[in-house]
Amino acid sequence: MEKNLSGKKVAILVTNGFEQEELTRPRKALEDAGAKTFIISPQTGKVKGWNHTNWGQEFDVALSLGEADPGDYDALFLPGGVINADKLRMDPEAVRFVRAFFRESKPVAAICHAPWLLIEAEAVEDRHLTSYESLKTDLQNAGAHWENSEVVVDGQLITSRKPQDIPAFNEHMIEEFAKERISHQV
């Protein structure tokens, strides 16, 4: 399967409180495969990660959410983190940004708590996916078919449960992001 992401632009949507290793390890894998990654955030300047039980490092924001156009990117990656996902799902601009990727049939990868944002974007009904286990009922109530698997791929949607699953998540994310898809408006 093709694993070369040269020329692909990947938006990474986060705000303060994302789980740090759920950003850094997949981002490195994407860049190692040739993708250009861009941190997009409602914040400007820098965003701060959450490193398991404490605040982590700061990362530069490439574009504020208000400046970012989903049409400029080939794929979307959503790191998890309770604080991050909860803040983003309450931000109408973030929800619109995510919804645009589904409307255009672009691939979206989400790990851990990030599927909370997918619920708000109305992108989970009748889809098979996974997440951090505490989101199971929320996802099922939104019409998703939840699985306790390290990675679930359903069309353009790639989901994973937790940091321990990152190696498998990275492999499937890169494989799906490398596929050529026909973009269309629904």
Structure letter (DSSP) for residue 103: H
Given 52, 113, 145, 184, which residue is catalytic? Answer: 113
- Residues 6+ positions from 96 with CB-CB distance below 8 Å: none
Given 112, 145, 172, 184, which residue is catalytic? Answer: 112
Structure letter (DSSP) for residue 139: H
Catalytic residue check, 113: yes
Q: Which two tokens stand for residue 170?
A: 């990275």
Catalytic residue check, 112: yes
Name the helix (H) or strand (E) containing 99: helix 92-103
**Burial of 137 by CB count in 10 Å (0-12 exposed, 13-18 middle, 19+ buried)?**
exposed
With contact defined as beta carbons under 8 Å apart, do 84 and 17 qualify? yes
Q: Which two tokens stand for residue 163?
A: 């940091």
The catalytic site residues sit at 112-113
